[in-house]
Amino acid sequence: MASLPYRDNTSRPSNYGRGGDDDEDEDEEEADESGFKSSKDAVLFAIDVSESMLTRPTDGDEKKSDAVLSPTLAALKCAYALMQQRIMSNPSDMMGILLFGTEKSKFQEGDEETGRGGLRYPHCYLLTDLDIPAAADVKQLRSMVEEEEEAADLLVASKEEVSMANLLFCANQIFTTKAPNFSTRRLFLVTDNDFPHASNRDARNSAAVRAKALYDLGVTIELFPISHPDRGYTFDRSKFYNDIVYSASPSDPDAPAPLTADIKPASSTAKDGISLLQALLSSVASRSAPRRSMFSHMPFEIGPGLKISVKGFILIKRQEPKRTSYIYVPPDSDKPQIVTGVGQLVADDTARTVEKAEVRRAYKFGGETVSFSDAELAKIKNFGDPVIRIIGFKPLSMLPVWAQPKQNYFIYPSEEDFVGSTRVFSALHQKLLRDQKMAIAWFIARRNANPTLIALIPGREQRSDGGEQIMPPGLWIKHLPFADDIRAPPETEMVKAPDPLIDAMRTVVQQLQLPKAVYDPGKYPNPGLQWFYRILQALALEEDLPEKAEDKTLPKWKQIHKRAGPYVVEWGKVLEEQYRVWQKENDRQPRIMANGGAKRAGGAAPAASNGRSAKKAKADDGGDAGEGGITDAEMRAAFAKDAVGKFTVADLKGWMQGKGIKAGTKKAEIVDAVNGWHETKMETD
C-alpha cells in the first residue's frame, strides 16, 4: 500500500516505566506514558575513508568552516552530534563508529599492537565500539573532529580496496556480540563509492550474501550517499547498493512500505547554501529515532464481522531530562555510590510492618471507608478485552478544538493477526479523507482499563521540500471528554471588538505570520531542556560552563518592528478612537485616583447602603479626566518633536498620573521624567 509508507520497527518491545513492580500504584485509568513501549536501539556508523572522501571541496566558502569539511570529517561530526544527543535523551541506546578503507586496522582493543586486526578485518578500524556512549567516547570523538593532527594520523586512506563483504561481516560480528537482544539494530553506511568491486563480480556477490545475513539477523542498513557535483560525479545506487540495502524492515517484513523514500545523495559542495554537514545531519535525523509503539495487536472493529489489526504509536512526546539513578557520597569515601530505594508498608497506629497480602485498597464514600480486594477491583474495572470499535461517523467540523483531555495516538495497520488489514485500513483512511469525516469509536487501551470515547481523525502525509517524510499518513486517536470531564467556564464580562479594530489587527497578524504560515517544531528546541543538557555535558566532559542558554524561541524584535511596527502604532490609534466611542455609548468614563491609577466608573451609579443613590465620582483635580487632558498620541508627537515642554505643568501632571510616573515639582524635572518614560518604552519595544 504505497499511500501509507509507515511501518513499525519494533518487534514485541518490553514494557517501559512500570518494570513489573507490585509496589507501583496501578490505579491509572488509561494507558498513558506508563504503558509506553520502548525498544532499545543500536546504531553503528560505517564511514568510508577513501581518497575522495578525504578531499575537501574546492569551491567552498572558507569563512564557513562547515562548508570546507571533507565528507569523512562531516560524517564524523554528524556522528558526534548524534552521540551528544543520544547520550542524554536515550541513555539506554548503543552507538559505535567503524571506519573502513583506512591504512590502519583495529577490531578490538590491542589489535594495533598485535597486528591481529589486519588479519581478521583488513582496513577496518573500530573507532568506538558499539556500546552505551560514555564521556570518554564523546571526548575521543570530539578530539577527532576538532584537532586536525589527531584526525590526520588515523584518517589515511589505504592503497588497497576494502572488501565490502569483510566490512558487512565485521558489522555482523559487532551486532551479534554487543547487541544480541536489541529489537532495533541499524547500520548507517556513509560513502561516495557507488560501485565497489567494479571488476570483481564474485566480491560483489559475496557482499550481497553478507548483506542478506545482516538482514536475517534483524539489522537494517541505511545508506547515506554522497555526490561530488564539482567533479561531475553523482551517486548511482542502482549499480551496487540496490542489492545491499533492503527496503523492508527485518522486524516487520510484511509492512506496507519503508518510512521514507531513498535518501537523496548529499552534495559535497555548498553552492545551494546547505553544507554537507547540514545535509547529513538532516538525513540522519530523519532516520535516527526508531519508531516507538504504544500498543500492538489491537483489534479494530470497523463493523459487525469486520475486524482488522492495528498498532499504536506516540509520535509526539514531551521530552524531559532522564535521571538514571540516585547516588550518595559516603563520609569516608569520595566515590559516589548508587542507592536503591526500598519501601515497606507500616501500620499508622502501631508502626507494625504490614505484609502485602494483608493490604486492601480503600476508597472514601460519605465519610465511610469502602475496601476492595485486588480480585474485586479487577472485576469492577473489567469492561472487556482491548479493542477499538467504531460506533458511528460525524463531520470533522463538529469536533471542537477544546475537546482533548489526553494525549493523541497514531494508529497504523498490522498484518500480524489479520491478513488484509492494510487494504481495509487504507480504504477507510481514504474515505474519511475524501468526505472530511471522523469516526467515533469505543476504545479500551489495555486490560482492566476504563473505556473512553475517541475520534479517529484521518491524517495526510506531510513531506519536506527535500522529499523526506515529516508526518506519515494514517489515523489519529483523539480522546473525547465525557460529561463528567467538562467544567463550567468562569464568568467573564466580554466587550466585543468593533470591526475597524479587527480590520487593523488583521494587518498586524498578516505581517507576523511564520514562514509558509506553518509552525515547524523542528526549528525550536526546548531551551530549558537544551540548557540542562549543555550544563550536564560541560560537567561530564570537563568543559567550560556556558554563560548563556541558546533560546530560539525568543522573538526577533527588530524584524517584528520593521515588518509590523507602523501597523501596531496605527492599531493603537484605532484602539484609542474606538475606546472613546465605547465610553460615550456606554457612559463609562475613567477618573484619576489619588495614587495615579485610573478607576472606571460604571454606566449607572451604584446604590448606597442606606438606599440613596451614590454621588458620581469626580477626578481629583475637579474635572473629568477624559475631557481636556493630553492624549497619548499628542504626547508621542510632542516627544518626537522634542516639544514636551510646551504643555503646562498641570496638563503634564495629569498625564503622568494616568501612567503612574512620579517626578519633582519643577517643570524641568517633570519634562525629564516624561522624556525618560518614552525612551525606556522605546527600548523595551
Give residue 65's pLDDT.
56
- Asked if residue 422 lies in contact with residue 373, where contact means CB atoms within 8 angstroms, the answer is no
Q: In 512-648, which ranges are continuous DSSP H helix?
A: 527-540, 557-586, 632-640
Q: Which range among 172-181, 335-344, 459-468, 613-622 has the greatest average pLDDT?
A: 172-181
Segment holding 425, helix H or strand E: helix 421-435
Q: Is the pLDDT of residue 592 over 90?
A: no
Segment holding 326, helix H or strand E: strand 326-328
Task: Give the residue carrying C-alpha cell 577496518.
Answer: 124
641-681: pLDDT as tens digits:
888 888 888 888 888 888 888 787 788 888 888 888 877 77
Give residue 61's pLDDT.
55
Give residue 306's pLDDT.
92
Give residue 35's pLDDT.
40
Which band of pLDDT confidence, cut at 50, 70 and 90, is reported for residue 321? confident
CA 229 to each of CA 21, 195, 246: distance values in angstroms, whole numbers, following the listed order: 58, 17, 27
The mean pLDDT of 53-59, rounded to a whole number, is: 78
Task: Give the rounded percent of residues in the chain with a pLDDT score beyond 70.
Answer: 76
Handedness of CA 455, 460, 463, 469 (dihedral sign): positive
DSSP letter (8 states) at residue 227: E
- Asked if residue 18 lies in contact with residue 32, where contact means CB atoms within 8 angstroms, the answer is no
Which band of pLDDT confidence, cut at 50, 70 and 90, is reported for residue 91? confident
The mean pLDDT of 216-239, rounded to a whole number, is: 85
Q: Is the pLDDT of residue 284 over 80?
A: no
Q: Is the pLDDT of residue 385 over 70?
A: yes
Give residue 59's pLDDT.
63
- Asked if residue 185 lies in contact with residue 45, where contact means CB atoms within 8 angstroms, the answer is no
Which band of pLDDT confidence, cut at 50, 70 and 90, is reported for residue 267? low
Q: Is the pLDDT of residue 626 over 60?
A: no
The mean pLDDT of 319-327, rounded to a whole number, is: 74
The mean pLDDT of 414-420, rounded to a whole number, is: 86
The mean pLDDT of 177-202, rounded to a whole number, is: 88
361-384: pLDDT as tens digits:
888 888 788 888 888 888 888 888
Q: Measure the CA–CA gap between 271 and 637, rounded to whole angstroms.
A: 49
Q: Residue 289: name the closest of 248, 317, 324 by CA.
A: 317
Q: Cβ atoms within 10 A of the Cβ of 623, count?
A: 14
Handedness of CA 117, 122, 127, 130 (dihedral sign): negative
DSSP 3-state of 470: strand
Q: Measure the CA–CA gap between 25 and 21, rounded to whole angstroms.
A: 9
CA 422 to each of CA 1, 178, 246, 297: distance values in angstroms, whole numbers, following the listed order: 7, 35, 21, 13
Task: Give the rounded percent of residues in the chain with a pLDDT score beyond 90.
Answer: 22
Give residue 475's pLDDT.
94
Q: Is the pLDDT of residue 609 over 50?
A: no
Give residue 466's pLDDT.
66
In sequence order, what are the beta bridge partners of 42? 94, 185
- Asked if residue 452 lies in contact with residue 479, where contact means CB atoms within 8 angstroms, the answer is yes
Handedness of CA 192, 195, 197, 198 (dihedral sign): negative
Q: Measure the CA–CA gap between 220 and 198, rounded to whole angstroms.
A: 24
The set of catalytic residues is 37
In sequence order, what are the beta bridge partners of 440? 392, 455
What is the grid cell recorded at 558?
Answer: 527588530
Q: Measure the CA–CA gap between 302 and 362, rounded to whole angstroms.
A: 39
Q: Is 569 left (phi over 0), alpha (psi -120 to 50) or beta?
A: alpha
Q: Which range among 215-219, 339-343, 398-402, 573-577 has the greatest average pLDDT?
A: 573-577
What is the grid cell recorded at 314?
Answer: 506516540
Give residue 478's pLDDT.
94
The mean pLDDT of 226-241, rounded to a whole number, is: 84
Q: Measure the CA–CA gap between 102 and 125, rounded to whole angstroms.
A: 7
Q: Measure the CA–CA gap between 399 and 457, rounded to whole angstroms.
A: 10
Q: Cβ atoms within 10 A of the Cβ of 326, count?
A: 11
pTM above 0.85, yes or no: no
The two counts, helices (H) then strands (E), for the chain are 17, 25
- Asked if residue 235 lies in contact with residue 226, where contact means CB atoms within 8 angstroms, the answer is yes
- Residue 100 CB-half CA count within 13 A: 25
Which band of pLDDT confidence, cut at 50, 70 and 90, is reported for residue 302? very high
Give residue 226's pLDDT.
86
Q: Which residues contact 517 (CB under 8 A, 6 or more apart)?
A: none
Q: Is 684 left (phi over 0), alpha (psi -120 to 50) or beta?
A: alpha
Angle among Cα 255, 258, 259 to the nearest 5 degrees reads 110
Per the prediction, the chain carries an average pLDDT of 77
Least confidently predicted of 73-82, 138-147, 258-267, 478-487: 258-267
Q: Which residues contact 410 (CB under 8 A, 6 or more apart)?
A: 312, 313, 314, 315, 459, 472, 474, 475, 476, 477
Question: β-pairing, 219-227 with 266-267?
Answer: parallel
